[in-house]
């Protein structure tokens, strides 16, 4: 089976089990200040897992495109990618462990065709000190499923991941871990806050028995070992507890959140530990072989990096992001530059994006039509960045000469590591090229240059973290009253901007915290002080009218084409959508009529309960053709 066939088979099987297919969410979650990217299938569903009703019912399924920028430095091995798809299904107070585990197991064995003898599972060993028992129910369900396939299923107590390297597999099939098989947004049971849902989870692994255990990871192998023998392919989270003042109590309505890696399941189906051999990555690699005249086997890491990074950059462009020096655009630029640098190593010094992006979009045209529909636009965006960076490479070489060339050797660079970091950080000049130039020009680098460079890199990473260390698992956006006020103000400002600047203004992103709102929109020129004042006056006027805020669900086509409801650039919707309207009591039509998931206040006077007014704090360029406004209630 190809990855495309696996994706379809999964969606079809879950539809047959009563699920509704929901569209993928954008890679950049709207109105969520806690994270830059959608990093899991669960993330967009958090409000519904916490109790909000979903318009498509209690059984949901999709394949969610995800991006985890924190994995960027790991790309190059056989299984890490920054961009991936997560097959996901959810039960919102509906079915629970019995159905979930059987459905996934039967999908893997009967649909995908995996050998059940190569499937291994983990369950939660429990936390008696918190009144959370060992998950014997899941273990028994797995045991019954393996028995039906005639597979031995010895149970083994592991405990912590670290302990796994001491006790090893022990010929087991069902393994018990402690915190590794526990889910909450705050981590371990001791850290779960009052009012938070949580519960055990059960992971599924595929064994590549052709790989020998690497003892550099630990003495003995076990399912959560990083040596590559075991690859996690799916995880079922069972939200069945609520943290209260008295401890952990059972939730009245229990939820299931399942996520399975499409790329990894496809690799298991091929019995190949190399995910870059699957049908949605191998054609990219083959195109790189053709462009460079080099073989994957001899340039494996370079081709893996290029294939992954350009696929990620392509989907970011599809979802409305352009390369920049800020936030999501910064990550996109870094992905692009790493891909171009590795292409440079292959001898590919031009036309990388114009030739590879169409290959990528063709792989997704049947399942994500928006990707192929925007192919030309994406090629233009990425090709522009490619040309800019190739110029950057030339500038970097010139600056290297300024720092280390013969003419400047009399002025000794005191800290080689810091100088190399300056080339990397200020000029975008890759470290590998700096080292190569140093070798070519007989520059004898300091013995501790690497420590100096790493120290500077650590400082930079702390400044530009791609995910907040304090965010909880899943990246839920704020739900406080202040968040609701700023979300409401964003709608008002969006409409005001269109009135002042024109209908070409389209939302390209937003970020809301308890202190301010940030709004990106399409507009070619700077917004003048006079225009800013007009926008402020319109928003404050509408607030003073105490507009009533409500929503209603409509068929998507009716909302967009007949009722002309506003939406965000790049957003995709299911068959029905929520449309929020803000209207004065004596008005014939609403001031704001916009597709949105919430949350909002009930009426606009709530925005100024403490005698505050809407104020635009800053207006600036975000990227080419995109402006950014920061505003607050002050």
pLDDT in tens, 499-556: 999 988 988 888 888 888 999 898 888 999 999 999 999 999 999 999 999 888 888 8
pLDDT given at position 471:
32
Give yes or no: residues 70 and 219 share one domain. Answer: yes
Read off the pLDDT band of 467 (50, 70, 90): very low
Last residue of a domain, one of 463, 498, 524: 463
What pLDDT band is residue 40 in, cutting at 50, 70 and 90? confident
Contact 93, 202 (CB under 8 A): no
Domain boundary among 258, 275, 292: 275
- Return the pLDDT at 411: 57
Q: Is residue 476 part of a domain?
A: no
Whether residue 474 is contained in a domain is answered as no
Does residue 478 carry a pLDDT above 80?
Answer: no
Compute the distance between CA of residue 230 and CA of residue 213 in angstroms, rounded to an integer: 10
What CATH number did the domain enclosing 584 receive?
Answer: 3.30.980.10
User: What SS3 class is residue 560?
Assistant: helix
Residue 472 lies in a domain: no
Q: Which residue shows structure tokens 């291994």?
A: 120
> Which one has a higher pLDDT value, 6 or 513?
6
The predicted-structure confidence for 132-141, as pLDDT tens digits, reads as follows: 999 999 999 9
Same domain, 424 and 548: no
Confidence of residue 60 (pLDDT cuts 50, 70, 90): very high
Q: What is the pLDDT of residue 62?
A: 95
Question: Domain ends where: 275, 293, 319?
Answer: 275
pLDDT in tens, 373-430: 899 999 999 999 998 888 777 788 788 888 887 665 555 677 888 888 888 877 777 7
Say if residue 41's pLDDT is above 90. Answer: no
Task: Assess whether pLDDT exceeds 70 at residue 469.
Answer: no
- Report the percentage of the chain scoring pLDDT > 70: 94
Average pLDDT score, the chain? 88
Query: Closest Cα partner for 241 from 229, 225, 226, 252?
Result: 252
d(CA 416, CA 445): 6
What is the structure's pLDDT at 51? 83
pLDDT reported for residue 224: 94
Instruction: Please report the pLDDT score of residue 474 as a whole number.
Output: 30
For the cut 60, the answer to whether the pLDDT of residue 150 exceeds it is: yes
462 has a pLDDT exceeding 80: no
SS (H, E, C) 400-452: HHHHHCHHHCCCCCCCHHHHHHHHHHHHCCCHHHHHHHHHHCCCCCCCCHHHH
Residue 611 pLDDT more than 90? Answer: no
Q: Is the pLDDT of residue 203 over 90?
A: yes
Judged against a pLDDT cut of 50, whether residue 472 lies above it is answered with no
Non-local (6+) Cβ contacts of 2 within 8 A are 266, 278, 279, 280
- Residue 337 and residue 195 share a domain: no
Is the confidence at residue 464, as pLDDT, over 60? Answer: no
What is the pairing mode between strands 507-512 and 517-522? antiparallel
Cis peptide before 16 (omega within 30 of 0): no
Q: Which two tokens stand for residue 307?
A: 């294939």
Q: Are residues 205 and 75 in the same domain?
A: yes
Do 512 and 582 share a domain, yes or no?
Answer: yes
Lowest mean pLDDT among 217-221, 357-361, 505-509: 505-509
pLDDT at residue 626 above 80? yes
Q: Is residue 475 part of a domain?
A: no
Is 471 exposed, middle or buried, given 0-12, 13-18 or 19+ CB atoms closer than 10 A?
Answer: middle
**Above 50 in pLDDT, residue 194?**
yes
- Pick from 280-284, 438-442, 509-513 the range whose average pLDDT is largest: 280-284
Q: What is the pLDDT of residue 494?
A: 95
- Do residues 418 and 488 both lie within one domain? no
| pLDDT at position 409 | 58
At residue 276 the predicted structure's pLDDT band, cuts being 50, 70 and 90, is very high
In a domain, residue 470? The reply is no
Judge if 443 and 577 occupy the same domain: no
Residues 447 and 567 in one domain: no
* Residue 490 included in any domain: yes
Residue 471 lies in a domain: no
Q: How confident is the model at residue 280 (pLDDT cuts 50, 70, 90)?
A: very high
Burial of 632 (0-12, 13-18, 19+ CB in 10 A): middle
Residues 93 and 203 in one domain: yes
50 in any annotated domain: yes
| Contact status, residue 267 vs residue 68, Cβ threshold 8 Å | no
Q: What is the pTM of this model?
A: 0.73
Residue 177: which CATH number? 3.30.930.10
Helices (H), 464-523: 481-501
Per-residue confidence (pLDDT) for residue 408, from 0 to 100: 58
Q: For residue 361, name the pLDDT band (cuts at 50, 70, 90).
A: very high
Helix (H) or strand (E) holding 480: none
Report the alpha-carbon distance of residue 225 to residue 206 in Å, rounded.
12
Highest mean pLDDT among 300-304, 330-334, 441-445, 573-577: 300-304
- In this predicted model, what pLDDT tens digit does every residue of 88-132 receive, in sequence order? 999 999 999 999 999 999 999 999 999 999 999 999 999 999 999
Max CA pair span of the chain: 79
The 8-class DSSP code of residue 173 comes to S
State residue 473's pLDDT score: 32
Does 320 share its domain with 447?
yes
Higher pLDDT, 544 or 32: 544
The total number of structural domains that make up the chain: 3
Looking at the predicted structure, is the pLDDT value of residue 476 above 60?
Answer: no
Residues 242 and 303 in one domain: no
pLDDT at 477 > cutoff 60: no
Site of tokens 């495309």: 4
By residue range, what is the domain housing residue 201?
Answer: 3-275
Distances from the Cα of 55 to the Cα of 22, 94, 99, 278, 558, angstroms: 10, 15, 23, 35, 16
Do 29 and 165 belong to one domain? yes
Length of the chain as a residue count: 634
Residue with tokens 């039967």: 106
Q: Which residue would you say has higher pLDDT here, 105 or 480?
A: 105
Arithmetic mean of pLDDT, 287-308: 93
CA 143 to chain CA mean position, Å: 34
């Amino acid at each position: 089976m190809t990855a495309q066939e696996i994706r379809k088979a999964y969606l079809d099987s879950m539809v047959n089990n009563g699920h509704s297919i929901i569209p993928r969410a954008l890679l950049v979650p709207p109105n969520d200040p806690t994270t830059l990217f959608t990093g899991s299938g669960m993330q967009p569903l958090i409000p519904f897992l916490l109790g909000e009703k979903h318009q498509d019912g209690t059984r949901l399924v999709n394949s969610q495109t995800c991006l985890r920028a924190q994995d960027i430095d790991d790309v190059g091995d056989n299984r890490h990618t920054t961009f991936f798809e997560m097959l996901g299904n959810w039960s919102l107070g509906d079915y629970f462990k019995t159905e979930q585990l059987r459905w996934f197991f039967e999908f893997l064995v009967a649909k995908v065709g995996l050998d059940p003898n190569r499937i291994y599972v983990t369950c939660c060993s429990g936390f008696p000190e918190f009144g959370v028992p060992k998950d014997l129910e899941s273990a028994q369900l797995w045991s019954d499923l393996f028995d039906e396939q005639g597979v031995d299923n010895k149970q083994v107590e592991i405990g912590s991941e670290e302990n796994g390297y001491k006790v090893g597999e022990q010929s087991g099939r069902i393994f018990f871990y402690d915190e590794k098989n526990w889910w909450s947004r705050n981590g371990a049971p001791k850290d779960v806050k009052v009012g938070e849902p949580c519960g055990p989870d059960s992971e599924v692994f595929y064994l590549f028995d052709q790989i020998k255990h690497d003892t550099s990871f630990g003495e003995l192998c076990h399912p959560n070992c990083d040596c590559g023998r075991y690859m996690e392919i799916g995880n079922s989270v069972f939200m069945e507890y609520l943290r209260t003042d008295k401890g952990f109590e059972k939730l009245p309505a229990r939820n299931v959140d399942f996520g399975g890696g499409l790329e990894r399941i496809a690799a298991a189906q091929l019995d190949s530990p190399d995910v870059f051999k699957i049908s949605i990555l191998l054609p990219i690699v083959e195109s790189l072989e053709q462009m460079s005249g080099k073989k994957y086997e001899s340039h494996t890491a370079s081709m893996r990096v290029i294939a992954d990074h350009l696929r990620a950059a392509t989907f970011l462009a599809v979802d409305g992001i352009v390369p920049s020096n800020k936030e999501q655009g910064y990550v996109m630029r870094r992905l692009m530059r790493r891909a171009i640098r590795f292409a440079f190593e292959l001898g590919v010094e031009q036309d990388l994006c114009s030739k590879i992006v169409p290959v990528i979009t063709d792989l997704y045209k049947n399942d994500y039509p928006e990707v192929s529909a925007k192919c030309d636009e994406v090629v233009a965006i990425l090709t522009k960045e490619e040309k800019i960076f190739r110029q950057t490479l030339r500038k970097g070489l010139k600056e290297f000469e300024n720092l280390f060339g013969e003419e400047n050797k009399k002025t000794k660079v005191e800290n080689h590591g810091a100088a190399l970091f300056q080339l990397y950080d200020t000029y975008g000049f890759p470290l590998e090229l700096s080292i190569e130039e140093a070798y070519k020009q007989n520059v004898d680098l300091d013995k501790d240059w690497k420590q100096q460079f790493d120290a500077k890199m650590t400082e930079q990473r702390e400044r530009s973290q791609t995910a907040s260390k304090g965010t909880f698992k899943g990246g839920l956006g704020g739900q406080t009253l202040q968040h609701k006020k700023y979300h409401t103000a964003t709608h008002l400002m969006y409409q005001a901007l269109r009135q002042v600047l024109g209908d070409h203004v389209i939302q390209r992103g937003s970020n809301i915290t308890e202190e301010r709102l940030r709004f990106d929109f399409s507009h070619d020129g700077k917004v003048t002080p006079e225009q800013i004042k007009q926008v402020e006056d319109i928003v404050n006027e509408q607030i003073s009218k105490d507009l009533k805020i409500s929503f209603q669900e409509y068929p998507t086509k009716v909302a967009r084409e007949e009722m002309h409801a506003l939406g965000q650039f790049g957003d995709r919707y299911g068959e029905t959508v929520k449309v929020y309207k803000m209207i004065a009591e004596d008005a014939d039509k609403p001031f704001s009529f916009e597709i949105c998931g919430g949350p909002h206040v009930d009426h606009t006077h709530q925005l100024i309960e403490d005698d505050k007014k809407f104020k635009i704090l800053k207006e600036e360029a975000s990227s080419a053709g995109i402006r950014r406004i920061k505003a607050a209630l002050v």
